[in-house]
Structure 1
């Protein structure tokens, strides 16, 4: 008897020539969990593991056309969004998502690369908040990204302050997953602030190893679990375990004396 087809996730993101993040990491993660990927590329980046050298943003109409073709060709069950690069691309992506409101969307709000290179224009942040985030089931900022979205002058110091920032971003439909990787302490705790403002915690030991693309990995892992029909809480729990196992097995240990 033929097996059911694996669930399919549409990934909307930029390329990373180093393979450490972006679409390369998304495809790797979704395949490792048993899913399929179709693509809408937003930008081509030239980067190593240490620096972003060049970013070429694609035409917004081309991004929208890729999305529509992917959705026509495949039984897409969830959407993961990463690098969007410009206000025009955000508008184009939002327009297509408005035609497919039944699909769960996971947004990883990518503003800068791991090495510090800018990956989103400053004028696009308000469009991201007003036009795109209300169409998403889940938004997954780290603490600096959360502060930028909330209009705060600095990242939240402590869980309570982070939750207050996240609640300002709730639209009545979406949820915010505050990633705890930039926090301190022996435990890495992600906080899920639901659409009604309630909070759930997802906890794991903090590893000293590092790896590029863990944000891409987490969002993609959540998306493929949502595509398979799992509830949001379970999808986050499974995704966090996947990232933890990957980081423990393949992460780079801290430099001697660092």
Structure 2
């Protein structure tokens, strides 16, 4: 699989998490680095975007090096990089593209510019097979306040489906309740829920892990439902290992 994402010096998120996840499932990882970040587990200290032309060149080189079964897109940082990624994807045979819309860090630092968010809406969503927003990311992309009910979540997901992405997985990790429920929305089908136990643990990079696990299973030839189920189970295992507040 090809991972298009930013680095995280702490190892807690970004490409470090993506590669570890792909390796866990026996899937090789080709890389296109979009930004260099200096981070701790508590804060983003600095961000330096990689020039968009170099991101595209990395992608083309990775694609030339061997077959790619799926593409996972994470942090993009700028509108120019979003467009560069879209342009490369348009020039390759159909491949499963999973977009984890990294808009802000868990500490609140913005990781994609406003023009970049608009480019993501207009150009990248139609190129993706699946997008995996959390509730805040869903609200930003839908141009709404954070959803406070299942109905609001469904309406916001419908807006993203209307932008051209055929599958929207809304992550429920930031919601309340004893279960962490991720909900898959697709046109013409009832929402499908994937639940796991909510655990008392601290774990960074969960969005990276989930989207990369999904992409890895799609690269292995699994269908969407099987990929989502396996990815959710993997994340639950990681949370179980982190119970007690130990970073994993």
Asked if Structure 1 and Structure 2 have the same fold, meaning a TM-score greater than 0.5 normalized by the shorter chain, the answer is yes
For residues 1-258 of structure 1, the aligned pairs below 5 Å read: 9-152=1-144, 154-170=145-161, 171-196=163-188, 198-251=190-243, 253=245
Q: Is the 8 A contact 2:131 2:165 kept in 1?
A: no
CA distance in 1 between counterparts of 2:243 and 2:112 reads 27
Structure 2 segments unaligned to the other structure (5+ residues): none
TM-score by length of 2: 0.96
Report the count of equivalent residues: 245
Displacement of 1:119: 0.8
1:160 positional shift: 1.8
TM-score, length of structure 1 as denominator length: 0.92
Q: Distance between the aligned counterparts of 1:252 and 1:60, measured in 2?
A: 41
Unaligned runs of 5+ in 1: 1-8
| Residue 220 of structure 1, CA deviation | 0.1
Runs of 4 or more, structure 1, over 3 Å off, are 195-198
Q: For residues 217 and 205 of structure 1, what CA distance do their matches in structure 2 show?
A: 17
- Find the aligned partners of 1:126 and 1:198 in 2 and give their Cα distance: 28
Mapped to 2, the partners of 1:234 and 1:193 lie a distance apart of 15
Contact in 2 for aligned 1:82/1:110 (Cα 8 Å): yes
